[in-house]
């Protein structure tokens, strides 16, 4: 019997048919079996109907990409086979829901049809067809059925013993079908050692990192693919006295957060592209009033409502430039799920140290898809509230009106919270003097603009970019979720004897120009981006003279890159 150390599996059907839950059960079972898992969900922007699928890749070694191929495809409808057939690996297996049983080989594939719903009905639970299908999958890879059973017992504990036994019987049925009809196609997925790991999405990691950094207020409006951040916070913030507000719109989302931050709470709001556009005016308020606030933008296909449930990286220009006037902001973009945790935690420090809005950019592939990561290190989370002045220090100044916007050498003014003795002050969205009162004095105006714009220049994440093999003459440049694809492309090229480096920028603004120079100047730079115009490369070219040595690979069809495509396009450019 062939032994496997990895498997790529996909389930598809109509939205509302339990596709996601089916995928999650197998993913969590394999995670517990010791495998690193990466997932990707394709779904329509509707409550029910339309093709949806869930991709799982389980590997012995860690990966950050869900894979190009499929070894086993589970089809709950005919459309699933039509849409996903091209991904099937030679020798792949297709399990189909059909009225009649049929086992045959076709074009190098095993096509196995079973009347899953009918079989489930005979077991007394028509809803358990998905569990039969999971049993078939488990039988095909020799996964001990007890692995499913322990998960079922936990998953359905609140629904009672009858439901548990019903689902176990359905899984058993799947194993029986394999034994009876597919025994010649059984392979063995090698058991792995379990490690100290987490199974978590980028959204969950971002929310968790914010929580650990002391964020105690979130106001937001539900929007795909960012809503999971609000859901995670609503489950956990109240446990520590924090507050979450599901507000009436995106404008309220950011203005409530600004108000909470002004009052002294570490506060954030989360959204996606259309919501980001609505929040833009208030971004200026935070910049002008020098109020620290964190804004998460989980990107999806745009513009307008665009592709609400599809992947894209096309909000960078808005994050970097969106606002009227010169509005300083720090823009961060984690390149992995674990970095989403650490970057989110640091974002609150940067917001308070530099008294400005901080954006955290995510993208759908990074936001919504869970993966295995090493256990997170809470000791790395440090809290720095910047120039926050207490009552004693404020009183020593002896000012009747505290100069909230006083000019300082580094441009950062001492900050005092409302209600602090000796800290009476005015904050304004209009241009103002050091005391906060409105001022149109031309000298003051110029100095205030310079103060706000220059103060953020020294801001640095502890890891502003990730670099692998930076000495290579060719650098693959990217941001966000493309890291997994670029790393695997790098490894594939290495097998061909071709050396390339991978550089993922995690701090887009202020761009760490001097630190990046050794890795980009004099190199062939190939930027790989999920947008039409090459927004990342254009931003880098504004700071570094790489115009004659840089190239662009883009994709904007709503899907992440595949390794195959990037590999072939990079080879053409070399």
566 CB-contact burial (10 Å; exposed 0-12 / middle 13-18 / buried 19+):
buried
Q: Which secondary-structure segment (H or E) carries 283?
A: helix 273-288
What is the predicted pLDDT for the residue at 81? 96
User: Measured between alpha carbons, how far is 565 from 86 in angstroms, rounded to an integer?
Assistant: 14
**pLDDT confidence of residue 126:** 85
Q: Please, how many CA atoms are within 13 Å of residue 309, restricted to the half-sphere of its CB?
A: 13
* Amino acid 178: pLDDT: 97
Give the pLDDT confidence score for residue 162 in this predicted structure: 87
pLDDT of residue 127: 85
Identify the three-state secondary structure at position 200. Answer: strand
Give the pLDDT confidence score for residue 508 in this predicted structure: 98
Q: What is the pLDDT of residue 500?
A: 98
Contacts of 145 (CB under 8 A, 6+ apart): 135, 138, 171, 172, 175
Chain centroid, CA 268 distance in Å: 17
Per the listing, tokens 């241009």 go with: 431
- Residues, the chain: 574
Give the chain's residues under pLDDT 50: none
Rounded distance between C-alpha atoms, residue 310 and residue 331, angstroms? 22
Q: For the segment 383-405, what is each residue's pLDDT rounded down to a tens digit?
A: 999 999 999 999 998 899 999 99
Q: Residue 238 has what pLDDT?
A: 96
Q: Cα-Cα-Cα-Cα dihedral of 342, 333, 311, 378, to 10°? A: 0
| Of the candidates 19, 196, 201, 12, the residue with the CA atom closest to the CA atom of residue 88 | 12
pTM score: 0.96
Taking Cα atoms as reference points, which of 290, 509, 284 lies closest to residue 386?
A: 290
pLDDT recorded at residue 15: 87
Q: What is the pLDDT of residue 17?
A: 86
- The secondary structure of 486-501, three-state, reads HHHHHHHHHHCCCCCE
What pLDDT is stored for residue 170 in this prediction?
Answer: 95
461: left (phi over 0), alpha (psi -120 to 50) or beta: beta
Alpha-carbon span 224 to 55, nearest angstrom: 19
pLDDT of residue 264: 97
- The pLDDT of residue 156 is 84
What's the pLDDT at 347?
A: 98
């Amino acid at each position: 019997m062939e032994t496997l150390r990895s498997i790529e599996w996909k389930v598809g059907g109509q939205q509302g048919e339990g596709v996601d839950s089916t995928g999650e059960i197998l993913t969590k079972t394999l995670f517990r079996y010791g495998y690193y898992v990466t997932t990707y969900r394709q779904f329509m922007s509707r409550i029910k109907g339309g093709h949806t699928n869930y991709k799982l890749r389980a590997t012995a070694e860690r990966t950050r990409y869900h894979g190009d191929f499929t070894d086993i495809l589970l089809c709950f409808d005919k459309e699933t086979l039509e849409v996903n057939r091209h991904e099937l690996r030679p020798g792949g297996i297709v399990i189909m829901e059909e009225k009649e049983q049929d086992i045959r080989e076709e074009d190098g594939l095993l096509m196995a049809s079973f009347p899953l719903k009918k079989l489930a009905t005979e077991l007394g639970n028509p809803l358990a067809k998905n569990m039969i299908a999971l049993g078939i999958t488990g039988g095909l890879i020799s996964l001990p059925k007890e692995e499913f059973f322990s998960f079922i017992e936990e998953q359905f504990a609140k629904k009672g013993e009858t439901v548990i036994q019903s689902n176990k019987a359905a899984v058993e049925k799947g194993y029986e079908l394999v034994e009876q009809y597919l025994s010649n196609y059984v392979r063995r997925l090698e058991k792995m050692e379990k490690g100290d790991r987490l199974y978590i999405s980028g959204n969950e990691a971002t929310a968790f990192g914010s929580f650990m950094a002391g964020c105690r207020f979130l106001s937001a409006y539900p929007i795909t693919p960012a809503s999971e951040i609000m859901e995670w916070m609503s489950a956990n913030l109240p446990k520590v006295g924090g507050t979450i507000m599901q507000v009436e719109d995106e404008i309220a989302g950011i203005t409530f957060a600004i108000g909470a931050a002004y009052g002294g709470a570490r506060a954030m709001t989360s959204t996606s592209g259309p919501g980001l556009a609505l929040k833009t005016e208030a971004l200026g308020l935070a910049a002008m009033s020098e109020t620290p606030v964190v804004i998460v933008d989980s990107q999806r296909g745009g513009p307008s409502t665009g592709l609400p449930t599809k992947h894209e990286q096309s909000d960078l220009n808005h994050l970097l430039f969106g606002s009227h006037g010169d509005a300083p902001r720090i823009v961060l973009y984690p390149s992995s799920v674990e970095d989403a945790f650490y970057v989110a935690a640091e974002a609150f420090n940067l917001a308070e140290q530099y008294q400005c809005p901080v954006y955290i950019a995510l993208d759908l592939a990074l936001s919504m898809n869970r993966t295995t990561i090493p256990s997170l290190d809470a000791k790395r989370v440090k809290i720095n509230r910047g120039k926050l002045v207490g009552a004693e220090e404020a009183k020593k100044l002896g000012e009747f009106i505290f100069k909230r916007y006083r000019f300082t050498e580094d441009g950062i003014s001492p900050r005092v919270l409302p209600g602090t003795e000796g800290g009476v002050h005015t904050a304004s969205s209009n241009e103002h003097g050091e005391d906060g009162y409105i001022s149109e004095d031309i000298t003051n105006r110029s100095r205030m603009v310079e103060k706000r714009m220059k103060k953020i220049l020294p801001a640095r994440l502890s890891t502003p970019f990730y670099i692998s093999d930076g000495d290579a003459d060719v650098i693959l440049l990217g941001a966000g979720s493309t890291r997994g694809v670029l790393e695997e492309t790098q490894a594939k090229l290495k097998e061909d004897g071709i050396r390339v480096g991978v550089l993922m920028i995690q701090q887009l603004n202020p761009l760490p120009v001097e630190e990046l120079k050794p890795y980009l100047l004099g190199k062939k730079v190939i930027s790989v981006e999920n947008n039409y115009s090459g927004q990342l490369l254009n931003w880098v070219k504004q700071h570094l003279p790489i115009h004659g040595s840089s190239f662009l690979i883009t994709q904007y069809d709503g899907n992440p890159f595949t390794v195959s495509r990037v590999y072939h396009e990079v080879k053409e450019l070399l």
